[in-house]
Chains A and B, each alone.
Chain A
């Protein structure tokens, strides 16, 4: 936070009720009230906006008529009190800071509790953060992830990823502060994120200060303080918890578990399927003619329920054989119709040798009850160059392993997670859109 080049003063355990002190502004003569004399080192005259050194017995002016005083109105009135995270806080200072390079600005409210010290509430385009200073120095290092290396900070066994780095300056101040506010003072800021937290370091010639920000829902701030002109949230804040991302994380775990279940079931099915030949027949036919009323005699199909595959093989060479028929239950008369063609062509043309089709074909009949069956078949053939008798082979197999069901189920199982992933990615791209260190740089067209 601005001006935290000095360490945050820790209030004493035996703090008594503070007595506000009023004095005349040494610049304009207007009354200036300091709510926490002794702790606050500077205060701003609300009349002339001069910054006064309150630790100086002569109330020396630090900055006269601090520039850019217009156009900034605190959303939370100075002096107002509110209960946030089970503690009572009083708003004693307000400042506007901005990024030197881009001009991007945000608001900071200094909170004070005589027993717990100072905190900041940071307002940034509809988003709020509750910030406290930390004394520990996080470990900053490079880490490899995916295709590149990223700067990370480790704090409290948590990894924070580099989000932003730039210079920040103070544009406007109001109220009192525990450090001597210097107009236009600049610090180098570095932010690392691990939603809902953000670790920030501020560095200048006096040293480095670390702070930890926790994202706060606007409603929580609104119920603690009277917030004037709370704007709708813009985009996704750097450390805002994205519901879509959280949903995607949970859903991807479930997707993985369901996929493992499906794979296990498919393996079990593939290894335990009967895959048994229950009938075979060789049929003679005369090429280029129709052969009707062929019957494959009754055969038994075991197992109460399952599929049946009928394999066809024909002696085709630049010709075709078409088979149409039905598998009929000898007891119930239930019929399973089918038709298939075996055709194979080959030759040589200007592009070289070519071929198409196959002398084999098959059909899978689904959900066939066990029992005795026979097959009625009609054959038709064409494009043969001679009419020598040929052989058509029919083979019936029971309970063969199939894979289509597995892939369909996997497809349906992946629909929800795919949609969830798209939403999560949109949120993450939006989160990183204001960062120079975005892992989605290519996606959002930053070069």
Chain B
């Protein structure tokens, strides 16, 4: 039973990868385009 479940899960993951590749989607990478303020150099200000 667990093998059948894994078979389905495996196909779903490969399908997800194919879809994400075609669509240019990044899996589990939300918010990466924002929140990049300057640090001013952490070493520089020591």
Contacts and interface: CB of A to CB of B under 8 A. Distances in A.
Interface of A: 247, 250-251, 254-255, 257-258, 261-262, 265-266, 269, 305-308, 318, 320, 322, 336-341, 343, 345, 347, 354, 356-357, 361, 363-368, 382-383, 399, 402, 404-406, 408-409, 412-413, 416-417, 420
Contacts of A363: 32-33
Contacts of A337: 33-34
B44 A347 contact: yes
A404 B28 CA distance: 9
16 contacts: A254-B3, A254-B10, A261-B14, A265-B14, A318-B44, A322-B38, A339-B33, A341-B36, A343-B41, A356-B42, A361-B36, A364-B32, A366-B24, A366-B26, A368-B24, A416-B6
A406 B18 CA distance: 10
B41 A356 contact: yes
A258 B14 contact: yes
A269 to B, nearest CB: 5
A178 B5 CA distance: 52
A241 B38 CA distance: 60
Q: How large is the interface on B (under 10, 10 to 19, 20 to 34, 35 or more residues)?
A: 35 or more
Given A404-B26, A404-B27, A320 B40 contact: yes
A345 to B, nearest CB: 4
A366 B19 CA distance: 13
Interface of B: 2-3, 5-7, 9-10, 13-14, 16-18, 20-29, 32-44
B14 A405 contact: no
Contacts, number: 122
Contacts of B3: 247, 250-251, 254
A375 to B, nearest CB: 13
Given A251-B3, A338-B33, A258 B23 contact: no
A262 B11 CA distance: 10
B33 A382 contact: no
Given A254-B10, A405-B26, A247 B2 contact: yes
A415 B34 CA distance: 30
B14 A262 contact: yes
A399 B36 contact: no
Nearest to B17: A409
B23 A305 contact: yes
- List the 7 closest pairs (A to B, CB-CB), nearest first: A307-B24, A345-B41, A306-B24, A320-B38, A258-B10, A409-B17, A338-B33
A409 B32 contact: no
A412 B14 CA distance: 10
Given A247-B2, A254-B7, A343 B24 contact: no
A344 to B, nearest CB: 8
A177 B39 CA distance: 88
A261 B27 CA distance: 18
